[in-house]
Amino acid sequence: MDQLLRLPEELLYLWHTHRAEVLLSAGILFAIVRLALHWRSRRTKEILTPPLSPVHVKVSPLLSPKDASTPVPDTKPSPPPKGSKPGPKRVTGSKKTKSRISPKADPAKAQTIRPIIFYFTVGGSTKVYAEKLAESLRSSANRSVLSPHIHDLTDIDYEDFFTTPIRPTPIYSVPFYLLVLPTYNIDTELDTFLSHLQETHHDFRIDTSPLSGLAGYSVFGLGDQQEWPTEQEGFCTQAIEVDKWMARLTGRKRGFPLGLSNTRGNVEEDMWSWGKGVRAVMEDVAIGRGLGEGVRGSGDAVESADEAEDEDDEEESDTRPRKLTTRQNQTSDLEDMKVPIPVDFTTASPNKPTISTQPKPMVPLNSPTHTTLTKQGYTIIGTHSGVKICRWTKSALRGRGSCYKFSFYGIASHLCMEATPSLSCSNKCVFCWRHGTNPVGTTWRWEVDEPGLVFRGMKEGHYRKIGMMRGVPGVRAERFGEAMRIRHCALSLVGEPIFYPHINALLGMLHKEHISSFLVCNAQHPDQLAALGPVTQLYVSIDASNKESLRRIDRPLYRDFWERFQRCMDILRAKRFTHRTVFRLTLVKGFNLEEEAEGYADLVEKALPGFVEVKGVTYCGTSTAAGAGLTMQNVPFYQEVCGFVLALARALERRGLDYGIAAEHAHSCCILLADRGRFFKVPAKPSVSTQALDGKGEVKVVEGEKKWHTLIDYPAFFRCLESGRPFGPEDYVGEPTPEWALWGRGGFDPRDVRVDRKGRPREAVVSGKVEEMGE
């Protein structure tokens, strides 16, 4: 104990006697450690720095002035000797080396794109087109999209290009593959190429997407449509196959839709527009925009609605996030679907009294409503408008058919924008998807956005959504190109468009840009209906034929709803001279289908619309729908809709009204009656090929024979409008309705391919329940 107490004293003594030596040793030790650390860090740097060579000396790729004009010498590995064709890939037992370009490379950050063109030819024509493409890309090359390299597929080793991406020159550039391919139904090298792609994808030792290091890819196919008229019959099948395998190998980096061209047509023109699109995408990637929102590899979220569309592409869907539930999958045309989705539109609690009298935004930016709608694929514009592309637009982009508006009125769905300037409504229809959760009101009590803002927002939102489709499997380049010019606008998405105080100004803006307008209203706003200016086609939803039924189905907010409804009928009757008026009947079994044909005929007699569209309600089975009293039992079979239409036609006849059943679109359970007096007539020209159908919808006309004319002459509508003179619906009646759309023919455009959910072709359904959602 005593010794322990003396320890501090002894330590102090030692320090005083030896402190010089202690301090010196500590200093030397510190210096040694510092020197060692310094020496280690220098070694590490040297290891990480590549040896200087002429290739790596480039300080910045963008400072190289030569590259813009001078094609960089090709660094592809020397071609294998001719004759040594790459056969099916051999399994060597060792794991393949990883891609020379990291598959994880983020193309959104790519600065320099090296287009690499591959072609295959037997007769020589594809080579000529591929070289022309190379020439045009070369002439527009710059620092970010370099001059292309071009390869004959028979000259390269597939392992060098299609097992891992080729390392392009300069080293910092990222390759973008362009494949220009014919199709041969005989054995050619293309079969070997396809086997290589397939085997690479299935090789368990290789990443399933080993080409994901590419900045993107696109395929252009050439085929002979005279011999192989449709894809089912073999038109361009090998290009289509290559496109699919490339999608899998690249992790869905289709930069631009597959282009297909008929060698009997204008290949150069087709290739020019495809090449232009591809070029624009490469520029986008080069400036860091990636492949576009929604395209895998772009880094952006894939849009939910687009996911559902890919369900039918079995193979490709394996790399994609989980598919949507049935309910989400079927939320395309919400207004027409009239089925509830639990969306909270309420921006203020209904129980709390509102203190402020200041108008508020209908759908505030950070509200749950805004978030939910955005997630569902809506673009919310300003504070009360919305736009969304419907499933038919996507279907038309993929050559799988347009909605009934194409069969009846000549509107190709990929040229049509669906929007609403008012998400609010004055009804709470039992079959409305917004049931119980939407902003409702009898007067406009929200902020009002200026029509210019609404119009610009609609267009921007629509084009952005179309742009997202460019990497989606099956989208056709020519339709994608066409879709970039809106031709029609359906103001029917959801809500009540004429509720918007500036609806006429908005319509004026649409028409000024030669966008036709289809406006659907709910027959509850007679004053606004009376004040409505020109519209290409004016719809009124007729959900019931008598007061009680209307109360039960539409559950209107107005106490004088029936009087309002009746006034709208009178206004519509007067407007039939200035507007193309349409009744839209949505049939709900157990609500408004049975015994109501007579009542509906009375309403037709009252308003004398030009057309009556009858449509079976569609249902997708949510608990909210069930809560509203709707089940699958309320969805009528197509035969029941047909039966109703026949009963209605007879009821109209009994009243001396000259309406006939003009057309049908069985696929969407929709049938059209039309006023014979105005729309059943002798065609103006003895023989007609309908313009709206690109000359392919031939209508055989016998001298003096009357034909249905339900199509619209859109240019004539704009001419009438711009003339400043009064005009009526008869002034812009289009050419005869195509034969395939007439009553009894099913109404599916024969040039498109009907597919089931797995993407397999199938026969048109002319009976049975409608199994798909949409208009």
Ligand X SMILES: Cc1cc2nc3c(=O)[nH]c(=O)nc-3n(C[C@H](O)[C@H](O)[C@H](O)COP(=O)(O)O)c2cc1C
Q: Which residue ranges make up the site for ligand SF4 (CB under 6 A)?
A: 335, 338, 425, 427-429, 432, 434, 494-496, 522, 554
Smallest gap from Cβ 334 to ligand SF4, in A, equals 8
Query: Is 305 or 429 the residue whose CB approaches ligand SF4 more closely?
Result: 429
Candidates 223, 255, 497, 746; binder of ligand X (CB under 6 A) is: 223
Query: Is 247 or 334 the residue whose CB approaches ligand SF4 more closely?
Result: 334
Gap between the Cα atoms of 638 and 766, Å rounded: 7
Helix (H) or strand (E) holding 180: strand 174-182
Gap between the Cα atoms of 72 and 148, Å rounded: 9
629 binds ligand X, rule: CB under 6 A: no
Give yes or no for a contact between 166 and 176, defined as CB atoms under 8 angstroms apart: no
At CB < 8 A and 24+ separation, what contacts does 547-550 make?
Answer: 549/591, 549/592, 549/596, 549/599
Binding residues among 192-211 for ligand X as defined by CB under 6 A: none
Residue with tokens 């005929």: 601
186 binds ligand X, rule: CB under 6 A: yes
Query: Is 128 or 766 the residue whose CB approaches ligand X more closely?
Result: 128
Question: Whose CB is nearest to ligand SF4?
Answer: 432
Q: Which stretch binds ligand X (CB under 6 A): 181-189, 497-505, 533-541, 556-564?
A: 181-189
Smallest gap from Cβ 583 to ligand SF4, in A, equals 14
Gap between the Cα atoms of 152 and 130, Å rounded: 9
Smallest gap from Cβ 432 to ligand SF4, in A, equals 3
130 binds ligand X, rule: CB under 6 A: no
Q: Which stretch binds ligand X (CB under 6 A): 184-192, 274-282, 421-429, 688-696?
A: 184-192
Binding residues among 466-505 for ligand X as defined by CB under 6 A: none
DSSP string computed for 277-310: HHHHHHHHHHTT-TT-TTSTTSSSPPPHHHHHHG
Smallest gap from Cβ 333 to ligand SF4, in A, equals 11
Question: Whose CB is nearest to ligand X?
Answer: 223
Token readout for 543 is 């959900």
Query: Is 267 or 572 the residue whose CB approaches ligand SF4 more closely?
Result: 572
Gap between the Cα atoms of 523 and 585, Å rounded: 12
Query: Is 223 or 526 the residue whose CB approaches ligand X more closely?
Result: 223
Smallest gap from Cβ 523 to ligand SF4, in A, equals 9
Q: Which stretch binds ligand X (CB under 6 A): 232-240, 245-253, 343-351, 513-521?
A: 232-240
Pairing of strands 670-675, 698-699: unpaired
Neighbour tally for 551: CB within 10 Å: 13
Per partner kind, with CB cut-offs from 5 to 8 A, the member of ligand SF4, ligand X, none near residue 122 is ligand X
Per partner kind, with CB cut-offs from 5 to 8 A, the member of ligand SF4, ligand X, none near residue 647 is none
Smallest gap from Cβ 335 to ligand X, in A, equals 40
**Helices vs. strands in the chain: H and E counts, helices first:** 25, 19
Give yes or no for a contact between 648 and 612, defined as CB atoms under 8 angstroms apart: yes
DSSP string computed for 713-774: -HHHHHHHHHH-S---GGGGB-SPPPGGGBTTS----TTS--B-TTS-B-PPP-SS---S--
Q: Which stretch binds ligand X (CB under 6 A): 83-91, 218-226, 326-334, 593-601?
A: 218-226
Per partner kind, with CB cut-offs from 5 to 8 A, the member of ligand SF4, ligand X, none near residue 637 is none
Smallest gap from Cβ 189 to ligand X, in A, equals 11
Smallest gap from Cβ 336 to ligand SF4, in A, equals 9
Rounded alpha-carbon distances, angstroms, from residue 751 to 231, 398, 399: 10, 12, 8
Gap between the Cα atoms of 346 and 697, Å rounded: 48
Candidates 75, 102, 185, 266; binder of ligand X (CB under 6 A) is: 185
- The partner residues of 518 in beta bridges, in order of sequence, read 490, 537
Neighbour tally for 633: CB within 10 Å: 9
Gap between the Cα atoms of 389 and 398, Å rounded: 14
Smallest gap from Cβ 582 to ligand X, in A, equals 42
Per partner kind, with CB cut-offs from 5 to 8 A, the member of ligand SF4, ligand X, none near residue 222 is ligand X
Residue with tokens 């637009």: 393
Gap between the Cα atoms of 262 and 551, Å rounded: 56
183 binds ligand X, rule: CB under 6 A: yes
Per partner kind, with CB cut-offs from 5 to 8 A, the member of ligand SF4, ligand X, none near residue 214 is none
Smallest gap from Cβ 568 to ligand SF4, in A, equals 13
Gap between the Cα atoms of 445 and 348, Å rounded: 13
Per partner kind, with CB cut-offs from 5 to 8 A, the member of ligand X, ligand SF4, none near residue 234 is ligand X
Query: Is 134 or 295 the residue whose CB approaches ligand X more closely?
Result: 134
Query: Integer distance in angstroms from the first to the last C-alpha of the chain?
Result: 98
Smallest gap from Cβ 473 to ligand X, in A, equals 19
| Per rule CB under 6 A, count of chain residues that contact ligand X | 19
224 binds ligand X, rule: CB under 6 A: yes
Smallest gap from Cβ 182 to ligand X, in A, equals 3
Smallest gap from Cβ 156 to ligand X, in A, equals 17
230 binds ligand X, rule: CB under 6 A: no
Strand, coil or helix: 663? strand
Pairing of strands 113-119, 149-152: parallel
Query: Is 363 or 494 the residue whose CB approaches ligand SF4 more closely?
Result: 494
Per partner kind, with CB cut-offs from 5 to 8 A, the member of ligand SF4, ligand X, none near residue 427 is ligand SF4
Pairing of strands 174-182, 216-223: parallel
Token readout for 158 is 């597939």
Query: Is 125 or 232 the residue whose CB approaches ligand X more closely?
Result: 125
Binding residues among 70-129 for ligand X as defined by CB under 6 A: 121-126
25 binds ligand X, rule: CB under 6 A: no
236 binds ligand X, rule: CB under 6 A: yes
Per partner kind, with CB cut-offs from 5 to 8 A, the member of ligand SF4, ligand X, none near residue 335 is ligand SF4
Gap between the Cα atoms of 595 and 337, Å rounded: 23
Token readout for 537 is 């086609």
Per partner kind, with CB cut-offs from 5 to 8 A, the member of ligand X, ligand SF4, none near residue 432 is ligand SF4
Per partner kind, with CB cut-offs from 5 to 8 A, the member of ligand SF4, ligand X, none near residue 123 is ligand X
Query: Is 185 or 687 the residue whose CB approaches ligand X more closely?
Result: 185
State the virtual CA torsion across 57, 59, 65, 71 in degrees, nearest 10: 50
Residues with Cβ within 8 Å of 417's Cβ and at least 6 positions away in sequence, in order, are 387, 389, 458, 459, 462, 486, 488, 489, 490, 515
Smallest gap from Cβ 364 to ligand SF4, in A, equals 20
Query: Is 183 or 212 the residue whose CB approaches ligand X more closely?
Result: 183
Give yes or no for a contact between 255 and 272, defined as CB atoms under 8 angstroms apart: no
Gap between the Cα atoms of 118 and 152, Å rounded: 6
Gap between the Cα atoms of 347 and 368, Å rounded: 8
Smallest gap from Cβ 561 to ligand SF4, in A, equals 11
Q: Which stretch binds ligand X (CB under 6 A): 44-52, 179-187, 374-382, 501-509?
A: 179-187
Residues with Cβ within 8 Å of 66's Cβ and at least 6 positions away in sequence, in order, are none
259 binds ligand X, rule: CB under 6 A: no
Strand, coil or helix: 142? coil
263 binds ligand X, rule: CB under 6 A: yes
Q: Which stretch binds ligand X (CB under 6 A): 62-70, 230-238, 584-592, 746-754?
A: 230-238
Smallest gap from Cβ 313 to ligand X, in A, equals 21
Q: Which residues bind ligand X (CB under 6 A)?
A: 121-126, 182-186, 222-224, 228, 234-236, 263
